[in-house]
Amino acid sequence: MSKMQRDFLNDAKEAEAAPPPALTNSFSAVDGDCPEKKSLSDNEPKLVASSPGSTEDSSIFDSTTDDLSEVTSVDFTISEKSSTDFIVIETSKCTVEPKENDSESLEDGESIKKDSSESGEIVKPEKVQKMVRLQSNENMSDNVNLPKAMSLKPCPSVGTSLEIYDYVMRSNGGGGENNGAAMMEEAWERLKKSYVYFKGKPVGTFAAMDPMAEALNYNQVFVRDFVPTGLACLMRDPAEPEIVKNFLLKTLHLQGWEKRIDNFTLGEGVMPASFKVLSNSHQQKETLIADFGGSAIGRVAPVDSGFWWIILLRSYTKCTGDYTLAERPEVQRGMKLILNLCLSDGFDTFPTLLCADGCSMIDRRMGIYGYPIEIQALFYFALRCARQMLKPERDGKELIERIDKRITALSYHIQKYYWLDFTQLNNIYRYKTEEYSHTAVNKFNVIPDSIPDWVFDFMPLRGGYLIGNVSPARMDFRWFLVGNCIAILSSLATPAQATAIMDLIEERWEDLIGEMPLKISYPALEGHEWRIGTGYDPKNTRWSYHNGGSWPVLLWLLAAASIKTGRPQIAKRAIELVEQRLSKDGWPEYYDGKTGRYVGKQARKYQTWSIAGYLVAKMMVENPSNLLMISLEEDKKIAKPKLTRSASF
């Protein structure tokens, strides 16, 4: 039996889903992108090298990023080999010729893009003036190691042979370039339709607009779900920041509500998981209803909402150059309240944040209680974004000092104790236990027998990742995509670790990307572990939903991380996969099966963040300077732990 047949049978066993739709050649001949917007090109390798981290990201208004204020299109080229940590991308600048009275916006050097539509001026490409510094990997393999098997596969039920399929793909421009333009158009249209209005203004997007499924709470605006939509609106050329601003202010307003669950009042800073607009057509009145966890399955407050809110506020400021929003007293207060929740003194011996299961994107019990990497990475990201936006007035100075200390402690802890690669795995495998005193090597008294068998096979010689959770006598070795990508974007992961994470994705492409990008977690909990880890959750059966399911929304995170690490090919290949099916399948929320072949058992169709995630990924690949809206440079001031080096360093 061939590997492909075996895979198919495995998948068929794993997921009890409807057979995949017939594969038809439906790539339409739609015009490509506009000529001003040059796509990434791999044809002419060239590199301008700069020393690693030669500038610091101490402010959103820093000199490195100011340079990018006018970049709207990027000629992206990469060298074959470099010994430096960073690639410099040469950019073609598109400038809008200034009108006499246009000086205000042109002087404003901090915004990333200019809105050319209002002035109606012609956009002219100008030659290389600005540079985007992105991290490169040491050996710049850029996918040389991707196994052949990961190339696009035919759908077995159609009976198409790989050769014919490859031919079809080639004659359609290599897997969806044409399809891509049509899909972008469709995606924008659908995104617009999902807007939620309050008093005539767009304030967010529905989570999903599936006409065939019960709405449940998918007719609400989820804070975390809105982030890719917000980014898409900011990255669009010209940008559409209005909805983002309205969303930030509306959710801030909701934060001010008194939050009670039974007789207990939640912390002031808690941001809602979601909200909805109730319209009373008789009284012509609209009211807002918010959920802070009181209605959520499991009654867990969303720890990630506040962090995403701060991160999006920084993206908005970075894109528009409108600092007045972040500087408003109520916005400063909102940030402080969120941070106070996390920086208060307690019994902690770790700088990480102790969380209940289900407090983030994985909002059901999945054995991620404790110190999950997703929350720790978002916490770090939010701390660094807030650090740039908080004003040192009044109690601000003291808070900034606390933030600085926490940033240092948190990055040390994560980089040292969450990091796993071949060498580190071998160290843990040989750990002694029951060590006492501060000299202990096995600090958390992890019993080597608790290392699951799969990790030994999964761990490549080249590559590594931040594991899911670290706490006393417990290391959750599972891979979680969000935490790892956010660690790259926030520079919580060192440049070497970021490179190794992308190496791992390449080396384990079949497992982590498969047929539909991309796995939220790996591997799935099965049998006894599933019973204990999820509490017999029928929605989270193996290789489904949060338990090893594949979520198209995560494409934007992968794209951002791969561009930041100088590996845009990874993003492009993942996008190609998405373009083959996502629109045809009706933009589902998630896919099931070991390789993500089947539309998820309970997946909503027309899931907004699947649509927005695709748009953001595309816009970042087309114009890598968009990355700056959602990425932070490494902070050189933060002390680095000494790490053992494995093949991936």
- Diameter over CA atoms, the chain: 74
Closest CA relative to residue 215, chosen from 231, 194, 191, 244? 194
Q: How far apart are CA 297 and CA 319, in angstroms?
A: 35
Q: Which is nearer to ligand GLC, 399 or 557 (CB)?
A: 557
Q: Which is nearer to ligand GLC, 484 or 494 (CB)?
A: 484
Q: How far apart are CA 190 and CA 185, in angstroms?
A: 9
Please report how close the Cβ of residue 132 comes to ligand GLC at its closest, in angstroms: 31
**Count of beta carbons in the 10 Å neighbourhood of residue 279:** 12
Q: Which is nearer to ligand GLC, 225 or 507 (CB)?
A: 225
- DSSP labels for 41-55? --SS---EEE-TT-S
374 makes contact with ligand GLC (CB under 6 A):
no
Please report how close the Cβ of residue 544 comes to ligand GLC at its closest, in angstroms: 12
Please report how close the Cβ of residue 28 comes to ligand GLC at its closest, in angstroms: 30
Q: Which is nearer to ligand GLC, 160 or 220 (CB)?
A: 220
Residues 334-373 that bind ligand GLC (CB under 6 A): 361, 363
Please report how close the Cβ of residue 222 comes to ligand GLC at its closest, in angstroms: 4
Q: Which is nearer to ligand GLC, 111 or 521 (CB)?
A: 521
- Kindly give the residue spans of alpha helices, DSSP state H, lying in 90-238: 103-107, 116-119, 162-171, 177-193, 223-235
Alpha carbon 17 to chain centroid distance? 27
Closest CA relative to residue 255, chosen from 326, 333, 345? 333
Please report how close the Cβ of residue 207 comes to ligand GLC at its closest, in angstroms: 4
Contacts of 196 (CB under 8 A, 6+ apart): 202, 203, 204, 205, 206, 221, 276, 277
Q: Which is nearer to ligand GLC, 225 or 511 (CB)?
A: 225
Nearest residue relative to ligand GLC (C-beta): 207
Q: Which is nearer to ligand GLC, 91 or 607 (CB)?
A: 607
Please report how close the Cβ of residue 193 comes to ligand GLC at its closest, in angstroms: 16
Q: How many residues bind ligand GLC (CB under 6 A)?
A: 6
Find out whether 207 and 216 touch, Cβ atoms under 8 Å. no
Q: Which is nearer to ligand GLC, 362 or 628 (CB)?
A: 362
Please report how close the Cβ of residue 407 comes to ligand GLC at its closest, in angstroms: 26
Q: What is the DSSP letter of 158?
A: G
Closest CA relative to residue 610, chosen from 476, 518, 531, 508? 518
- The β-bridge partners of 261 are 264
Find out whether 509 and 401 touch, Cβ atoms under 8 Å. no
Please report how close the Cβ of residue 242 comes to ligand GLC at its closest, in angstroms: 23
For residue 3, which phi and psi values (nearest 5 degrees)? -65, -35
Here the tokens at position 486 are: 């956010």
How big is the CA angle at 498 (ends 496 and 502), to the nearest 5 degrees?
115
Please report how close the Cβ of residue 216 comes to ligand GLC at its closest, in angstroms: 9
Side chain identity, residue 393? E
Residue whose token pair is 């969806």: 176
Please report how close the Cβ of residue 576 comes to ligand GLC at its closest, in angstroms: 25
Q: Which is nearer to ligand GLC, 179 or 305 (CB)?
A: 305
C-alpha dist (Å) from residue 233 to 131, 161, 315, 385, 572: 23, 40, 11, 20, 21
Q: Which is nearer to ligand GLC, 179 or 220 (CB)?
A: 220
Burial category of 118 from C-beta neighbours within 10 Å (exposed 0-12, middle 13-18, buried 19 and up): exposed
Q: Which is nearer to ligand GLC, 207 or 231 (CB)?
A: 207
Q: Which is nearer to ligand GLC, 215 or 409 (CB)?
A: 215
Q: Which is nearer to ligand GLC, 38 or 605 (CB)?
A: 605
Please report how close the Cβ of residue 358 comes to ligand GLC at its closest, in angstroms: 9
Residue span 85-124 as binding mask against ligand GLC, x where in contact by CB under 6 A, dash where not: ----------------------------------------
Residues 171-230 that bind ligand GLC (CB under 6 A): 207, 222, 224-225
Please report how close the Cβ of residue 225 comes to ligand GLC at its closest, in angstroms: 5
3-state secondary structure of 193: helix
Q: What is the DSSP letter of 236?
A: S
Please report how close the Cβ of residue 579 comes to ligand GLC at its closest, in angstroms: 22
C-alpha dist (Å) from residue 81 to 49, 137, 172, 484, 511: 11, 9, 31, 25, 27
Residues that bind ligand GLC (CB under 6 A): 207, 222, 224-225, 361, 363
